[in-house]
Structure 1
């Protein structure tokens, strides 16, 4: 389907190990095709509404669609495919089809963002069709019945919920659930398969290090780890999506409602992951306090904004109830990324990235920036290998 709001699209390929830099990255999406069941693609966004979470999906594992291009304000992140930069991002290991989208002139910023986001999703659907008739190398099954069925099946295992916080703060600070902006939802219970099947997509284009890309929603590592332990050490009840709002009233509403859902569903333990840092730290700790004070054991996954020397207070809020916290690393850690042989996009965009600055691009093409600017470097769903420890 042609989008008349797009002026030009450029395609390029970046392979693991090549001295290639991609900047400024907007989103990363995994190409897939639904071969059985309802809801191919991204219902509510690129295709008609359908219920996700059942059926069979063929995945082009190891491939990714990467969207790039300027929108407005701060401009997302960097992916380096080789050497020092490669170790800081999980997407140096994927074969990346880079889609550089230039909309027509005169679009307002919200429409501009929608055009870029939708084009990336459609590209993933189109590429995913290549896998429709392919015999899979591996078949993975993810299945959980109703809560009543699972509790009856595993009566002695602790009941665990996953609360996933989504950035929900305005233009370039949003997530979407079946096409609905997360700003507009109350905390919502999902079957974990819905998220793995494409119900949740990213509209977050500011803090590259800990944004949850659409690819990471499709492969949410917390969900996959909980599935791996389901029926063995715990009983995985489901996923609660919680918006991170900017107003105090909104924070109280969503945090109270999240805790209420966890109590109503009988959770013994809850894992809470954050998206972003700073303002959302307050939501993270508010949820933690409510759950712990209700007798529900709570584990938090976050990252730290601890300054270049790592000695600043890591979160914008604290709580004595936060006794089990997993760190995805320090977003302020400064890295030096060597010059690339080829840049896909605009290397000068580093000056307007969160984690970059005027002068971050040196004359020889070297980048000096915080991890803040590197896509997925301090993942708050554990989708990378970075952490921070106190010695």
Structure 2
């Protein structure tokens, strides 16, 4: 039951007469892709297909999701068999904001340093839907269209030879060297409803969690983002597909540590549900006989309580825990940075202050609905200046304070 991830390195994307891989170039028939996507979902009224490349003077606005192009080969099930992946490529979906969230990707300038997707070769889908859809239906159309496009692009690799193949066998928690610490990964997923949703094996994470899930399923795309949340700490589908915490644990497996399992846990909205979920998660970690735990998070405010309950429960169970979080400490960094705390939280890793402000210079090409700019979390009524520059918080940039640690902010002692 081994998973093989086959990577096909792509170094350029161009539009052409057919959708194929030509050497290391992905060629896309733009009109064919548009028609296929509109045919697949009649709720699409219009769709724009664009490219946004590293270094371009391009700003992508109101980003819904980012997805790595992948497809299963020979009908294999998720978590086993062969999966083809277009390396360096991302499908970026954007469109009208139905709440007050979403975010920005700048392909150049100071904003580009704060998002990993300024370094990917992006196929941008600017999607409009037919009138009369509910907010949930609107979001469903945009996100499913992104997934469909990602699969179609990945299928261009079917008869090609991969650049790299990674092999991931199953892990037996019982077969670990006794000299190495047994480490569990507690993987928190935003699941509050109200368009704050994540999907695990096609089921809403509001149900069926906490649970232990095989690392091969996670590496193979078991988690899909459905979140309209602040851009800075949103885990896009691309983040879930390439979770850096999980990959680092697997790199060190049977070297510095033994990964004994991944506990997926949700972030409910009521205090009683939070306490119950945290207790169940701690019990699952205990069944893995873990010596320690590493915990990531998604979101801020409400999820801070989930994280603190988990940390307290694990520490009281004798399981030392390291947790990642971002901060909302005000523009000057002097405000209380978390909405909750516990004395047991003694090993916290900060990935940055999302309230820090940044001035983004005007860029030549704008993709996405510029009219919705001031609805972005981290933007203000006066964010758009007359010269086209933007004054926003890091909160508005996709991945700027990602709580999987996939961001570029660093700190130094002064």
**Which TM-score band applies after superposition, normalised by the shorter structure?**
over 0.9
Q: Distance in 2 between matches of 1:61 and 1:171?
A: 33
Structure 2 residue aligned with 1:97 = 123
Supply the RMSD in Å over aligned alpha carbons. Answer: 1.4
Secondary structure of 1:141's aligned partner: strand
Q: What corresponds to 1:70 in structure 2?
A: 96
Query: 1:246, 1:94 → 2: CA distance?
Result: 35
The question of 1:15 aligning with 2:53 is answered yes
Which residue does 1:46 correspond to in 2? Answer: none
Native 8 Å contact 1:165 1:242 kept in 2: yes
1:362 partner SS? coil
Match of 1:132 among 144, 158, 168: 158
Extract unaligned runs of 5+ from structure 1: 40-51
Match of 1:238 among 245, 261, 265: 261
* TM-score normalised by structure 1 residue count: 0.93
Aligned ranges for residues 203-352 of structure 1 at < 5 Å? 203-352=226-375
Cα offset, 1:263, TM superposition:
0.9
Moved more, 52-61 or 366-375: 52-61
Q: 1:108 to 1:367 in 2, by over 3 A?
A: same
Q: Once structures 1 and 2 are overlaid, which stretch shifts more, 180-189 or 274-283?
A: 180-189
> What TM-score does the superposition give when structure 2 sets the normalisation length?
0.88
Give the match for residue 24 of structure 2: none
Shift of 1:365: 0.7
Question: In the TM superposition, what whole-angstrom CA distance separates every residue of 1:309-339 from its partner, at most 9, and x where no partner exists?
Answer: 0111111111111111111100001011100
1:99-154, Cα deviation, whole Å (9 max, x unpaired): 11111111111111111111111110011111222212222222333222x33xx2
Alpha-carbon deviations, 1:60-116, whole Å to 9, x = none? 110000000014121300000002111010000001000111111111111111111
- What is the deviation of 1:36? 5.0
Report SS of the residue matched to 1:250.
Answer: helix
CA shift in 2, pair 1:231/1:240, >3 Å:
same
Give 5+ residue unaligned stretches, structure 2.
1-38
What is the number of equivalent residue pairs in this alignment? Answer: 376
- SS of residue matched to 1:385: coil
Rounded to whole Å, the distance in 1 between the matches of 2:282 and 2:74 is: 36
